[in-house]
Structure 1
Amino acid sequence: MRKGDKWVENELLVKRAIKGSKNDFALLIHQYKNELYRIAYIYTKNQDDALEAIDETTYKAYISIKKLRKSEFFKTWIIRILINECISILRKKNKIVLENDNNKFEVTYEDSDLTFDYEELYEAINTLTDKQRTAIVLRYFDDLKTSTISEIMGIPENTVKAHIRRGLLSLKKILKEEIIYG
Protein backbone atom coordinates (compact mmCIF):
# COMPACT_ATOMS: atom_id res chain seq x y z
CA MET A 1 0.00 0.00 0.00
CA ARG A 2 1.39 3.39 -0.97
CA LYS A 3 1.79 6.10 1.66
CA GLY A 4 -0.95 8.15 0.04
CA ASP A 5 -3.34 5.20 0.27
CA LYS A 6 -2.60 4.81 3.98
CA TRP A 7 -3.33 8.51 4.55
CA VAL A 8 -6.65 8.25 2.66
CA GLU A 9 -7.56 5.15 4.67
CA ASN A 10 -6.82 7.00 7.94
CA GLU A 11 -8.90 9.97 6.81
CA LEU A 12 -11.85 7.66 6.14
CA LEU A 13 -11.47 5.96 9.53
CA VAL A 14 -11.40 9.32 11.30
CA LYS A 15 -14.41 10.64 9.39
CA ARG A 16 -16.41 7.50 10.18
CA ALA A 17 -15.32 7.65 13.84
CA ILE A 18 -16.51 11.27 14.01
CA LYS A 19 -19.87 10.10 12.67
CA GLY A 20 -20.07 7.58 15.52
CA SER A 21 -18.43 4.37 14.29
CA LYS A 22 -17.07 2.59 17.37
CA ASN A 23 -15.17 0.06 15.24
CA ASP A 24 -13.36 2.73 13.25
CA PHE A 25 -12.44 4.60 16.43
CA ALA A 26 -11.06 1.35 17.89
CA LEU A 27 -9.03 0.77 14.71
CA LEU A 28 -7.54 4.25 14.98
CA ILE A 29 -6.57 3.75 18.61
CA HIS A 30 -5.07 0.35 17.76
CA GLN A 31 -3.10 1.94 14.93
CA TYR A 32 -1.54 4.57 17.22
CA LYS A 33 -1.26 2.52 20.42
CA ASN A 34 2.52 1.95 20.26
CA GLU A 35 3.25 5.61 19.63
CA LEU A 36 0.87 6.69 22.37
CA TYR A 37 2.43 4.23 24.81
CA ARG A 38 5.95 5.43 24.00
CA ILE A 39 5.01 9.06 24.64
CA ALA A 40 3.09 8.21 27.83
CA TYR A 41 5.94 6.09 29.18
CA ILE A 42 8.53 8.80 28.52
CA TYR A 43 6.39 11.17 30.56
CA THR A 44 5.35 8.91 33.42
CA LYS A 45 8.34 6.53 33.62
CA ASN A 46 5.90 3.89 34.80
CA GLN A 47 4.02 1.23 32.83
CA ASP A 48 0.86 1.42 34.95
CA ASP A 49 0.70 5.21 34.74
CA ALA A 50 1.37 5.13 31.00
CA LEU A 51 -1.46 2.64 30.48
CA GLU A 52 -3.75 4.70 32.71
CA ALA A 53 -2.95 7.80 30.65
CA ILE A 54 -3.75 5.92 27.44
CA ASP A 55 -7.03 4.64 28.89
CA GLU A 56 -8.09 8.12 29.97
CA THR A 57 -6.98 9.56 26.64
CA THR A 58 -8.97 6.96 24.74
CA TYR A 59 -12.06 7.67 26.84
CA LYS A 60 -11.74 11.46 26.50
CA ALA A 61 -11.08 11.21 22.77
CA TYR A 62 -14.05 8.90 22.26
CA ILE A 63 -16.52 11.15 24.06
CA SER A 64 -15.25 14.30 22.33
CA ILE A 65 -14.31 13.09 18.83
CA LYS A 66 -17.32 14.86 17.34
CA LYS A 67 -15.61 18.14 18.32
CA LEU A 68 -12.64 17.32 16.04
CA ARG A 69 -13.14 19.72 13.14
CA LYS A 70 -10.51 18.47 10.70
CA SER A 71 -9.93 14.74 10.38
CA GLU A 72 -6.33 15.20 9.20
CA PHE A 73 -5.43 16.50 12.67
CA PHE A 74 -6.55 13.36 14.53
CA LYS A 75 -3.01 12.28 15.43
CA THR A 76 -1.93 15.66 16.79
CA TRP A 77 -5.29 16.02 18.57
CA ILE A 78 -4.99 12.68 20.39
CA ILE A 79 -1.32 13.26 21.27
CA ARG A 80 -2.28 16.61 22.82
CA ILE A 81 -4.95 14.88 24.92
CA LEU A 82 -2.40 12.23 25.98
CA ILE A 83 0.23 14.77 27.02
CA ASN A 84 -2.30 16.70 29.07
CA GLU A 85 -3.39 13.45 30.72
CA CYS A 86 0.22 12.48 31.53
CA ILE A 87 0.88 15.88 33.08
CA SER A 88 -2.32 15.52 35.10
CA ILE A 89 -1.26 12.09 36.40
CA LEU A 90 2.18 13.40 37.38
CA ARG A 91 0.68 16.38 39.18
CA LYS A 92 -1.71 14.10 41.09
CA LYS A 93 1.19 11.97 42.23
CA ASN A 94 3.26 15.07 42.90
CA LYS A 95 6.37 13.09 42.12
CA ILE A 96 8.13 11.57 39.18
CA VAL A 97 9.31 7.97 39.30
CA LEU A 98 12.50 7.22 37.42
CA GLU A 99 13.32 3.95 35.74
CA ASN A 100 16.55 2.47 37.04
CA ASP A 101 18.36 0.51 34.35
CA ASN A 102 21.90 0.21 33.10
CA ASN A 103 21.26 1.63 29.64
CA LYS A 104 23.22 4.65 28.54
CA PHE A 105 22.15 7.73 26.65
CA GLU A 106 24.67 9.64 24.59
CA VAL A 107 24.49 13.40 24.18
CA THR A 108 26.72 15.18 21.67
CA TYR A 109 27.66 18.83 22.09
CA GLU A 110 29.94 20.87 19.90
CA ASP A 111 32.78 20.52 22.38
CA SER A 112 32.52 16.88 23.48
CA ASP A 113 30.68 13.58 23.47
CA LEU A 114 29.19 12.80 26.87
CA THR A 115 27.48 9.62 28.02
CA PHE A 116 24.78 9.64 30.69
CA ASP A 117 22.64 7.00 32.32
CA TYR A 118 19.00 7.16 31.34
CA GLU A 119 18.26 7.94 34.97
CA GLU A 120 20.46 11.04 34.88
CA LEU A 121 18.86 12.18 31.64
CA TYR A 122 15.30 11.61 32.93
CA GLU A 123 16.12 13.46 36.14
CA ALA A 124 17.42 16.38 34.10
CA ILE A 125 14.40 16.36 31.76
CA ASN A 126 12.06 16.31 34.73
CA THR A 127 13.52 19.60 36.00
CA LEU A 128 12.37 21.43 32.85
CA THR A 129 9.10 23.32 32.60
CA ASP A 130 6.13 21.35 31.25
CA LYS A 131 6.34 23.14 27.90
CA GLN A 132 10.09 22.61 27.53
CA ARG A 133 9.78 18.94 28.50
CA THR A 134 6.89 18.41 26.08
CA ALA A 135 8.73 20.05 23.18
CA ILE A 136 11.96 18.11 23.83
CA VAL A 137 10.24 14.75 24.32
CA LEU A 138 8.21 15.13 21.13
CA ARG A 139 11.23 16.37 19.15
CA TYR A 140 13.97 14.01 20.29
CA PHE A 141 12.18 10.96 21.66
CA ASP A 142 9.30 10.84 19.17
CA ASP A 143 11.20 12.49 16.28
CA LEU A 144 8.42 14.93 15.35
CA LYS A 145 8.95 18.09 13.32
CA THR A 146 8.54 21.46 15.00
CA SER A 147 5.47 22.15 12.86
CA THR A 148 3.77 19.02 14.20
CA ILE A 149 4.83 19.84 17.77
CA SER A 150 3.37 23.32 17.26
CA GLU A 151 0.01 21.78 16.32
CA ILE A 152 0.08 19.35 19.25
CA MET A 153 0.97 22.02 21.81
CA GLY A 154 -1.25 24.67 20.24
CA ILE A 155 1.51 27.29 20.13
CA PRO A 156 3.44 29.00 17.30
CA GLU A 157 6.38 27.16 15.75
CA ASN A 158 8.89 29.80 16.90
CA THR A 159 7.67 29.35 20.47
CA VAL A 160 8.27 25.59 20.15
CA LYS A 161 11.80 26.30 18.93
CA ALA A 162 12.37 28.63 21.87
CA HIS A 163 11.17 25.99 24.35
CA ILE A 164 13.48 23.42 22.75
CA ARG A 165 16.46 25.80 22.75
CA ARG A 166 15.93 26.86 26.39
CA GLY A 167 15.32 23.28 27.44
CA LEU A 168 18.49 22.04 25.74
CA LEU A 169 20.52 24.81 27.37
CA SER A 170 19.12 23.83 30.76
CA LEU A 171 19.82 20.14 30.10
CA LYS A 172 23.38 20.90 29.04
CA LYS A 173 23.97 22.89 32.22
CA ILE A 174 22.37 20.27 34.49
CA LEU A 175 24.18 17.33 32.88
CA LYS A 176 27.57 19.08 32.95
CA GLU A 177 27.05 19.86 36.65
CA GLU A 178 26.26 16.17 37.20
CA ILE A 179 29.63 15.25 35.71
CA ILE A 180 31.52 17.88 37.69
CA TYR A 181 29.79 17.44 41.05
CA GLY A 182 28.40 13.90 40.45
Structure 2
Amino acid sequence: MEIKEKELHVRAIAGDDEAFLAVMQLHKQSLLRTALAFLRNEDDAIEALQEVTYRAYKKVRTVKEPSYLKTWLIRIMINYCQDQLKLRKRYTVDDSGLETVSAEDISYIELRDALATLSDEEQRLIYLKYFQDSKIKDIAQSENIPESTVKSRLYKTMRTLRSYFEDKGGSDHV
Protein backbone atom coordinates (compact mmCIF):
# COMPACT_ATOMS: atom_id res chain seq x y z
CA MET A 1 0.00 0.00 0.00
CA GLU A 2 1.31 3.39 -0.92
CA ILE A 3 2.03 5.94 1.80
CA LYS A 4 -0.50 8.34 0.31
CA GLU A 5 -3.20 5.62 0.28
CA LYS A 6 -2.46 4.65 3.89
CA GLU A 7 -2.59 8.31 4.90
CA LEU A 8 -6.01 8.61 3.23
CA HIS A 9 -7.18 5.51 5.09
CA VAL A 10 -5.98 6.92 8.42
CA ARG A 11 -7.69 10.26 7.80
CA ALA A 12 -10.93 8.59 6.69
CA ILE A 13 -11.00 6.41 9.82
CA ALA A 14 -10.37 9.52 11.93
CA GLY A 15 -13.54 11.09 10.49
CA ASP A 16 -12.23 13.24 7.63
CA ASP A 17 -15.17 13.31 5.18
CA GLU A 18 -13.05 14.37 2.20
CA ALA A 19 -10.60 11.54 2.86
CA PHE A 20 -13.51 9.08 3.15
CA LEU A 21 -14.84 10.20 -0.24
CA ALA A 22 -11.36 9.87 -1.73
CA VAL A 23 -11.05 6.34 -0.29
CA MET A 24 -14.42 5.36 -1.78
CA GLN A 25 -13.33 6.79 -5.14
CA LEU A 26 -10.02 4.93 -4.91
CA HIS A 27 -11.72 1.57 -4.27
CA LYS A 28 -14.84 2.17 -6.38
CA GLN A 29 -13.82 -0.16 -9.23
CA SER A 30 -13.02 -3.08 -6.90
CA LEU A 31 -16.30 -2.60 -5.08
CA LEU A 32 -18.28 -2.41 -8.32
CA ARG A 33 -16.54 -5.55 -9.67
CA THR A 34 -17.44 -7.33 -6.45
CA ALA A 35 -21.08 -6.27 -6.71
CA LEU A 36 -21.28 -7.23 -10.38
CA ALA A 37 -19.79 -10.65 -9.67
CA PHE A 38 -22.55 -11.35 -7.17
CA LEU A 39 -25.53 -9.43 -8.52
CA ARG A 40 -24.81 -9.65 -12.28
CA ASN A 41 -26.66 -6.42 -12.97
CA GLU A 42 -25.10 -2.98 -13.37
CA ASP A 43 -28.02 -1.08 -11.83
CA ASP A 44 -28.04 -3.38 -8.80
CA ALA A 45 -24.26 -3.02 -8.51
CA ILE A 46 -24.50 0.77 -8.48
CA GLU A 47 -27.25 0.60 -5.87
CA ALA A 48 -25.06 -1.75 -3.82
CA LEU A 49 -22.16 0.70 -4.05
CA GLN A 50 -24.39 3.49 -2.74
CA GLU A 51 -25.64 1.36 0.15
CA VAL A 52 -22.14 0.16 1.04
CA THR A 53 -20.84 3.74 0.94
CA TYR A 54 -23.55 4.72 3.43
CA ARG A 55 -22.89 1.72 5.69
CA ALA A 56 -19.14 2.23 5.59
CA TYR A 57 -19.49 5.93 6.35
CA LYS A 58 -21.50 5.13 9.47
CA LYS A 59 -18.98 2.56 10.74
CA VAL A 60 -15.60 3.65 9.33
CA ARG A 61 -14.41 4.76 12.77
CA THR A 62 -14.60 1.12 13.95
CA VAL A 63 -11.77 0.05 11.60
CA LYS A 64 -8.71 -0.66 13.71
CA GLU A 65 -6.05 -1.20 11.04
CA PRO A 66 -5.91 1.33 8.17
CA SER A 67 -4.14 -1.11 5.83
CA TYR A 68 -7.23 -3.38 5.93
CA LEU A 69 -9.75 -0.68 5.04
CA LYS A 70 -10.14 -1.91 1.45
CA THR A 71 -10.68 -5.50 2.62
CA TRP A 72 -13.21 -4.23 5.15
CA LEU A 73 -15.11 -2.36 2.41
CA ILE A 74 -15.14 -5.43 0.16
CA ARG A 75 -16.41 -7.56 3.03
CA ILE A 76 -19.28 -5.12 3.58
CA MET A 77 -20.04 -5.35 -0.15
CA ILE A 78 -19.98 -9.17 -0.15
CA ASN A 79 -22.28 -9.32 2.87
CA TYR A 80 -24.68 -6.81 1.30
CA CYS A 81 -24.74 -8.72 -2.00
CA GLN A 82 -25.32 -12.05 -0.27
CA ASP A 83 -28.23 -10.51 1.64
CA GLN A 84 -29.69 -9.19 -1.62
CA LEU A 85 -29.38 -12.60 -3.27
CA LYS A 86 -31.17 -14.23 -0.34
CA LEU A 87 -33.99 -11.70 -0.69
CA ARG A 88 -34.20 -12.38 -4.43
CA LYS A 89 -34.51 -16.13 -3.83
CA ARG A 90 -37.57 -15.50 -1.72
CA TYR A 91 -39.31 -13.46 -4.38
CA THR A 92 -38.24 -14.89 -7.73
CA VAL A 93 -40.38 -17.14 -9.86
CA ASP A 94 -38.68 -19.77 -11.99
CA ASP A 95 -38.74 -18.64 -15.59
CA SER A 96 -37.68 -21.55 -17.75
CA GLY A 97 -37.25 -19.57 -20.95
CA LEU A 98 -34.36 -21.17 -22.80
CA GLU A 99 -31.92 -19.08 -24.75
CA THR A 100 -28.82 -19.84 -26.77
CA VAL A 101 -25.82 -19.60 -24.48
CA SER A 102 -22.10 -19.67 -25.21
CA ALA A 103 -19.62 -22.08 -23.67
CA GLU A 104 -18.30 -19.16 -21.59
CA ASP A 105 -21.83 -18.54 -20.26
CA ILE A 106 -22.22 -22.21 -19.42
CA SER A 107 -18.89 -22.24 -17.55
CA TYR A 108 -19.94 -19.12 -15.66
CA ILE A 109 -23.31 -20.69 -14.78
CA GLU A 110 -21.61 -23.91 -13.67
CA LEU A 111 -19.17 -21.95 -11.49
CA ARG A 112 -21.98 -19.84 -10.05
CA ASP A 113 -24.00 -22.99 -9.27
CA ALA A 114 -20.98 -24.63 -7.67
CA LEU A 115 -20.31 -21.58 -5.51
CA ALA A 116 -23.98 -21.51 -4.50
CA THR A 117 -23.53 -24.93 -2.87
CA LEU A 118 -21.01 -23.42 -0.45
CA SER A 119 -21.79 -21.70 2.82
CA ASP A 120 -21.68 -17.89 2.93
CA GLU A 121 -18.37 -18.10 4.80
CA GLU A 122 -16.86 -20.41 2.17
CA GLN A 123 -18.11 -18.20 -0.67
CA ARG A 124 -16.61 -15.15 1.00
CA LEU A 125 -13.22 -16.86 1.40
CA ILE A 126 -13.18 -18.03 -2.24
CA TYR A 127 -14.23 -14.63 -3.47
CA LEU A 128 -11.64 -12.75 -1.43
CA LYS A 129 -8.81 -15.12 -2.37
CA TYR A 130 -9.52 -15.88 -6.03
CA PHE A 131 -11.69 -13.04 -7.31
CA GLN A 132 -10.20 -10.14 -5.33
CA ASP A 133 -6.69 -11.61 -5.13
CA SER A 134 -6.50 -10.88 -1.40
CA LYS A 135 -3.54 -12.25 0.53
CA ILE A 136 -4.09 -14.99 3.13
CA LYS A 137 -2.79 -12.56 5.78
CA ASP A 138 -5.37 -9.92 4.78
CA ILE A 139 -8.22 -12.44 4.75
CA ALA A 140 -7.19 -13.71 8.19
CA GLN A 141 -7.18 -10.17 9.54
CA SER A 142 -10.55 -9.23 8.04
CA GLU A 143 -12.19 -12.50 9.12
CA ASN A 144 -10.53 -12.32 12.54
CA ILE A 145 -9.11 -15.87 12.29
CA PRO A 146 -5.56 -17.29 12.14
CA GLU A 147 -3.84 -17.58 8.75
CA SER A 148 -3.61 -21.36 9.17
CA THR A 149 -7.40 -21.49 9.56
CA VAL A 150 -7.86 -19.51 6.35
CA LYS A 151 -5.54 -21.91 4.52
CA SER A 152 -7.27 -25.03 5.82
CA ARG A 153 -10.74 -23.63 5.07
CA LEU A 154 -9.69 -22.66 1.55
CA TYR A 155 -8.18 -26.12 1.02
CA LYS A 156 -11.37 -27.81 2.27
CA THR A 157 -13.56 -25.53 0.15
CA MET A 158 -11.50 -26.17 -2.98
CA ARG A 159 -11.78 -29.92 -2.32
CA THR A 160 -15.57 -29.49 -2.05
CA LEU A 161 -15.65 -27.62 -5.37
CA ARG A 162 -13.49 -30.27 -7.07
CA SER A 163 -15.83 -32.96 -5.80
CA TYR A 164 -18.83 -30.98 -7.06
CA PHE A 165 -17.37 -30.76 -10.58
CA GLU A 166 -16.26 -34.39 -10.59
CA ASP A 167 -19.80 -35.43 -9.66
CA LYS A 168 -21.04 -33.31 -12.56
CA GLY A 169 -18.89 -35.27 -14.97
CA GLY A 170 -15.80 -33.14 -15.37
CA SER A 171 -12.72 -32.25 -13.39
CA ASP A 172 -11.18 -29.57 -15.58
CA HIS A 173 -12.96 -26.62 -13.94
CA VAL A 174 -11.14 -26.31 -10.64
TM range (shorter): 0.7 to 0.9
- Residue among 155, 158, 161 paired with 2:151: 161
Structure 2 gaps of 5+ residues are 93-99
Q: Which residue pairs with 2:26 in the alignment? A: 31
Change (3 A) 1:62 1:146: same
- TM-score w.r.t. length of structure 1: 0.77
> In the alignment, which of 62, 84, 93 is matched to residue 89 of structure 1?
84
Residue 73 of structure 1, CA deviation: 2.3
Which stretch shows the higher mean deviation, 128-137 or 17-26?
Answer: 17-26
User: Contact 2:35/2:81 (CA < 8 Å) preserved in 1?
Assistant: yes
Task: Letter of the 1:28 partner, please give it.
Answer: V
Q: How far apart in 2 are the matches of 1:84 and 1:77?
A: 11
What is the CA-CA distance between 1:103 and the residue it aligns to? 5.5
Distance in 1 (CA, whole Å) between partners of 2:139 and 2:103 is 27
Aligned alpha-carbon RMSD (Å): 2.5
Deviation (angstroms), 1:9: 0.7
- Give the structure with the higher percent strand: 1
* Cα displacement (A) at 1:165: 1.5
Equivalents in 2 of 1:102, 1:147: separation in Å? 37
Q: 2:3 corresponds to which residue?
A: 8
Give the TM-score normalised by structure 2: 0.80
- Deviation per residue, 1:106-139 (Å, 9 max, x gap): xxxxxxxxxx711111111111111111111111
Determine the C-alpha separation between the residues in 2 that align with 1:160 and 1:49.
Answer: 30
SS of the counterpart of 1:143? coil
**Gap runs ≥5 in structure 1:** 1-5, 106-115
Contact 1:79 1:152 in 2 (8 A): no
Report if aligned partners of 2:68, 2:142 keep a CA contact under 8 Å in 1. Answer: no
Q: Which of 35, 44, 48 is the equivalent residue of 1:49?
A: 44
2:53 is aligned, of 45, 55, 58, to 58
1:170 corresponds in structure 2 to 160
**Aligned length, in residue pairs:** 163
Residue matched to 1:143:
133
Secondary structure of the equivalent of 2:134?
A: coil
Tell me if structure 2 keeps the 8 A contact 1:150–1:157. Answer: yes
